[in-house]
Amino acid sequence: MNQLEQTVGLIRDVIAVELLGTYLHGSAALGRLAPASDLDVLAVTRRSLDHRRRCALVEGLLKISGCTPTVRPVELTIVVQSEVRPWRFPPTGDFLFGEWLRDELQTGGPPRPGPMPDLALLLTVALAGARPLTGPPLARLLDPVPHADLIRASVAGIPELLAELNDDTRNVLLTLARIWTTLATGEIRSKDAAADWALALLPPRHRPVLEHARNLYLTCHYQDEVWDDGLKAQVRPHVDEVLSRIDDLRHHA
């Protein structure tokens, strides 16, 4: 049984009759899985999970998910249908598991419901990708996210992204390119497609770091990536250029 089947089976077993459907989103829905891509799964439920179910999901996901050449990280997001339909911003997420939360979940207990602005992006990708794993087409359960809230969610995460620039350079650069692309085109593209779009518009001096980030994304795992000193010195000027393009779009929206 592969990881996706294990994940869907776990969700079905734990949530049972409260489960409305499970859906693939993220890289797999936008195009294809890169070497370091997460398996991104969305589950829609009738009501909020109780503590027992939250603990059972975390326990199961800690065994299924990983970051090795043969085991992908699993990201599971759960929403209660009535919390996002009718739509309001910021939306409430009921449960979130990801490898970056592993230590926190092991020491602090299962995730609780809370505001999750980037659900606007996640749900948009999931609705566009139309990849149900169980249940009806997602469009039967959820309404489209208004374009204005898609933009709000895109820019809301920029400060948090910038805080991770040194530790997660590849992902931050690609995500900023995607934000710029989304503001300019209204579309959410895969990370490599967003990088291609941005590279065509950037001055030559600001292209090398994004080209490198794109190549890393397509070819290697995080633990195998290398940034030489010359590229590192170009990262912040590149980011400032992209942020200026994003600000221009925001001010003229």
- For the chain, the average pLDDT equals 91
DSSP state of 144: P
Out of 70-74, 135-139, 210-214, which region has the weakest mean confidence (pLDDT)?
A: 70-74
pLDDT at 36: 62
pLDDT at 65 exceeding the cut of 60: yes
Out of 18-32, 194-208, 227-241, which region has the weakest mean confidence (pLDDT)?
A: 18-32
Burial class, 92, CB count within 10 angstroms (exposed 0-12 / middle 13-18 / buried 19+): middle
pLDDT at 91 exceeding the cut of 90: yes
How far is CA 25 from its chain centroid? Answer: 8
CATH 3.30.460 domain position(s) in the chain = 3-144
pLDDT at 152 exceeding the cut of 80: yes
pLDDT at 11 exceeding the cut of 70: yes
Mean pLDDT, residues 70-84 taken together: 93
> Is 5 a residue of the active site?
no
pLDDT at 162 exceeding the cut of 80: yes
pLDDT at 183: 93
Out of 12-16, 56-60, 118-122, which region has the weakest mean confidence (pLDDT)?
A: 118-122
CA-nearest of 230, 190, 252 to 40 is 190
Question: Contact, 198 vs 175, CB < 8 A?
Answer: no
Beta bridge partners of 227: none
The end-to-end CA distance of the chain, in Å, is 48
pLDDT at 30: 63
Distances (CA, A) of 97 to 7, 146, 230: 12, 26, 36
Say how far apart CA 216 and CA 219 lie, in whole Å. 5
pLDDT at 137 exceeding the cut of 80: yes
Say how far apart CA 38 and CA 33 lie, in whole Å. 8
Question: Contact, 13 vs 53, CB < 8 A?
Answer: no
pLDDT at 1 exceeding the cut of 60: no
Q: Are strands 74-80 and 92-93 parallel, antiparallel or unpaired?
A: unpaired
pLDDT at 33: 62
Mean pLDDT, residues 154-174 taken together: 92
pLDDT at 100: 86
Mean pLDDT, residues 158-173 taken together: 93
pLDDT at 61: 97
Residue range 3-144, CATH number? 3.30.460
Catalytic residue among 5, 18, 59, 75: 75
Distances (CA, A) of 166 to 101, 176, 185: 19, 14, 28
pLDDT at 173 exceeding the cut of 60: yes
DSSP state of 251: H
Say how far apart CA 250 and CA 253 lie, in whole Å. 5
Q: For residue range 101-134, what is the model confidence (pLDDT) as tens digits?
A: 999 999 999 999 999 998 998 999 889 876 899 9
User: 253 falls in which pLDDT band (50, 70, 90)?
Assistant: low
Which has more confidence, 165 or 27? 165
Burial class, 94, CB count within 10 angstroms (exposed 0-12 / middle 13-18 / buried 19+): buried
Three-state DSSP at 66 gives coil
